[in-house]
Structure 1
Amino acid sequence: MTIRIPRQPIPDPLPMGSYSPQDVIFLLKNLNGLIRETDLKTRERLIQSGGHYSEMLPIEYQPGEDYLRLFHQSLRESSSKVAEAVGIVSEQILHRNGPQTVLVSLARAGTPIGVLIKRYLLEKRNLTLPHYSISIIRGRGMDENALAYILQQHPNYKLQFIDGWTGKGAITKTLQEACLDFEQKYGYKLDSDLAVLTDPGHCVKTFGTREDFLIPSACLNATVSGLISRTVLRKDLIGERDFHGARYYRELEAENVSSLFVDTVSEQFKRLDSEDLWNLRPEKPEVTWKGQKDLELIQKTYGIGDINLIKPGLGETTRVLLRRLPERILVNNPDNPNLKHIQLLAKDRQVSVEVFPGLTYACCGIIKQLP
């Protein structure tokens, strides 16, 4: 199918991030020296007063030694479980799309998961699939220049979008809307299927598990995602033919565990049987948006005006504690071992942890409403 892009071909990206280009190519514009981070209180006030989170960057949270020890411990304890989920997702992707597939991870939480899926398919299926990481922004859509570039480089390939986990499904919905918008603009139909390792919100059909377990890469920010910041879309920084932007934190190289994470999980692939993993897949997974009911109850219970201030699941709750101003953390079972890092972060930031029985998710983070 010919894509109707009414402009010149998109130029090749410049090298970005700490991963090997054999693992992933970031389709992002390097904003080093062009944008400065905003402190948490200022950023939160700007967002809640109508500013968009994609127009500013948070200061990267630097965890203490206790927290880093917890990351390494969780990586050791869960690497085999993460590897199994990667395998289940990878087998589904291959059976659905075939070998002519481009892996398209959503920066930045999806990037290490895309790297793992690429490595799994190489090791277990002897397939070398291209893998790019691109920007998607809630309320702004997907990077159309990045999509155009991928389609120019890989005509007649299918695109498989990848993220780490689902929360309430905001990115799932943004992806669906972006794919429809892209088809209307350019006459090219994209498959909006989103593959994730964990789907506690019951938002997607391609997943490794619906258990809300801890993916160690959720514990950290740039230092487990190729030293890349959150993505940025601002008119004064991003031109008409630019990719969305991000910072490359070279100064954090000494703390970088991006390779450690993917290497540790990849080491477990040799113990997996591909056919067994295929048989572990859910045969007829239903998308019920089950988690949405939890959020509506929480919203009513605590009188929260904007449902976007509720961030469900281990991955999203971790991010609330790392880069937002949390008001409280809700947990289903305080004895859940997956909550160790949540408890530690909450203590560090002096945030209360409350039991909310019956949650679909292991936990939810509630962002403080500012006056």
Structure 2
Amino acid sequence: MTIHPVTAQPVTARPTPDAGPASELPEPLYGPDFGSYDAHEVAWLLSDLSSVELEAPTEEREEAIQSGGAHYAESLPVEYQPTQEYQDLFHSALRASATRLAHAVGVVTDLVLAERGERAVLVSLARAGTPIGVLMRRWASYAHGLNLPHYAASIVRGRGIDQVALAYLAAHHRPEDIMFVDGWTGKGAISRELAAAVEQANVALGLSGTGLTGAGLAGADLGDDERAGFSADLAVLADPGHCAELFGTREDYLIPSACLNSTVSGLVSRTVLNDALIGPGMFHGAKFYADLAPADVSAEFCDVVSMQFSEVAASVAETIAARQAAPAPEITWAGWKAVEAISAEYGLGDVNLVKPGVGETTRVLLRRVPWKILVRADASAELAHVRLLAAQRGVEVVEVEDLPYSCVGLIHPQFTRGATGADGTASR
């Protein structure tokens, strides 16, 4: 399978209040200087904060969030270093799910190409979306001989997607060609955040199509001097939350890249938005953990899944034909409704303390102060890593009948310092 380098076709930039003219916009970062992905796999629309000490222990870091109103994106958690047993679980899960993942990658990529055409530009939401963006780019090359540009950009709860990154994209590509990419949906918070941020960017950049999704944008009546804007469409590998139209599957199963942190995401940290470090006209920031290279499985994850492309090509074509012949998938926000019900049942009083799905539950166990883990009895085969992490952290696992997700992580409602609200600051 031949993978071609990322290319961009510059267009005239439109200045924004924060970013200035195109000549003043920052440039992307590339591996191996930043991140462990090859330069042709992804361009990082991020500022390099590798030399800045931003990590703090979970309790100390989230104490600042709880007591002082600090935003979760102003600092970084200390990255969990997996035990050998946990690493073995990752490799086992990857081998077991590679074919299923490859099928979902092919389906969602072909749906994106049907929406955007051969000029599609992938913009993954760093960092969970980035391995998926790399795989989608590889599928487009393998199945269609296309060389899709792929960028990674930051989105922060309560702050939105990086507006300087969007200005860069508007200066180098047609905004209507952009497709945002993430790994999975939980309750749909990022989908809502993205829609609001895209509307803000279209206004700031003087673009048309504000608030439209791809279908509405394609049919918009633009004047000769108008330029189509960004769409809030989000393509995801898995949509158990039923809040995306473009998805590879709606099953809530383990995506192995959710098991780990930077070591499966190009050795790049979570993104950072700290006013003391990120000034006007700068991309949001992140760190490159080059010292973790011996434990890096970013390339292995993508390679193992990519090697299954030939095995799933026929089934992907069948799935695409069936999906295109059927009515558009309904967006029900079922995940959000389920989270509201769970929050009420367990007396939490805040949906932000409920993290549904395998991916989000894993994050709770890796990064937060978990209270309970709810698991569906018939989903045990998917949850070995969840049970192992819960045991290592002394967290109660509760089996629940008819749970709408394979599992749900509950953040501790009283003692946690990790209970952040919709704006990313302490939930009161």
Give the TM-score band, short-chain normalised.
over 0.9
Q: Which moved more, 1:253-262 or 1:295-304?
A: 295-304
| In 2: Cα distance, 1:239 partner to 1:216 partner | 35
Choose from 295, 307, 311 the match for 1:255. 295
Question: Which residue does 1:34 correspond to in 2?
Answer: 52
Q: Please name the residue that 2:269 is paired with.
A: 229
- CA 1:37–1:185 in structure 2 vs 1: closer, same or farther (change >3 Å)? same
1:11 aligns with 2:26: yes
Residue 336 of structure 2: which of 292, 300, 305 is its match? 292
- Map of 2:101 onto structure 1: 82
Does residue 1:210 correspond to 2:220, yes or no?
Answer: no
Which one-letter code corresponds to 2:382 in the other structure? N
Q: Which runs of 5 or more structure 1 residues have no equivalent in the other structure?
A: none
Is residue 2:365 matched to residue 1:306?
Answer: no
Q: Which amino acid aligns with 2:156?
A: I
**1:280 to partner: Cα distance:** 4.7
- 1:19 touches 1:259 (CA, 8 Å); kept in 2? yes
Could you tell me which residue of structure 1 aligns to residue 195 of structure 2?
176
The question of whether the paired residues in 1 share the 8 Å contact of 2:169 and 2:175 is answered with: no
Moved more, 270-279 or 116-125: 270-279
Q: Structure 1 segments of 4 or more deviating over 4 A? A: none
What is the 5 A alignment of 1:1-371?
A: 4-6=14-16, 7-9=20-22, 10-15=25-30, 16-49=34-67, 50-155=69-174, 158-188=177-207, 189-271=229-311, 272-273=313-314, 274-281=316-323, 283=326, 284-333=328-377, 336-371=380-415
TM-score, length-normalised on structure 1?
A: 0.96
Give the TM-score normalised by the residue count of structure 2. Answer: 0.84
Can you give the 5+ residue segments of structure 2 that lack an aligned partner in the other structure?
1-10, 208-228, 416-428
Give the deviation of 1:156 after TM superposition.
6.4
Q: Does 260-269 or 285-294 show the bigger shift?
A: 285-294
Counterpart CA distance in 1 for 2:402 and 2:99 is 28
One-letter amino acid matched to 2:179: Q
Q: Is the 8 A contact 1:44 1:325 kept in 2?
A: no
Report the alpha carbon displacement of residue 89 of structure 1 after superposing the two structures with TM. 0.2
The residue identity in structure 2 corresponding to 1:281 is: R
| SS in structure 2 of the partner of residue 211 of structure 1 | coil
Deviation at 1:133, TM superposition (A): 0.4
CA gap 1:328/1:23 in 2 versus in 1, 3 angstroms:
same
Q: Is the 8 A contact 1:105 1:131 kept in 2?
A: yes
Let me know the Cα RMSD of the aligned residues: 1.5
Q: Which whole-Å deviations, capped at 9, do the CAs of 1:49-103 have from their partners, x for residues lacking one?
A: 4321101100000010111000000000000000000000011001111001110
Deviation of 1:288 after TM superposition, in Å, equals: 0.1
The SS at the match of 1:32 is: coil
Query: Could you say what secondary structure the match of 2:183 adopts?
Result: coil
Moved more, 172-181 or 277-286: 277-286
How many residues in Structure 1 have an aligned counterpart in Structure 2?
371
**What letter corresponds to residue 339 of structure 1 in structure 2?**
L
User: Who wins on radius of gyration, i.e. which is larger?
Assistant: 2
- Partners of 1:88 and 1:280 within 8 A in 2: no
1:306 positional shift:
2.2
> Structure 1 stretch 208-217 or stretch 333-342: which is displaced more?
333-342
Q: Secondary structure at the match of 1:119?
A: helix
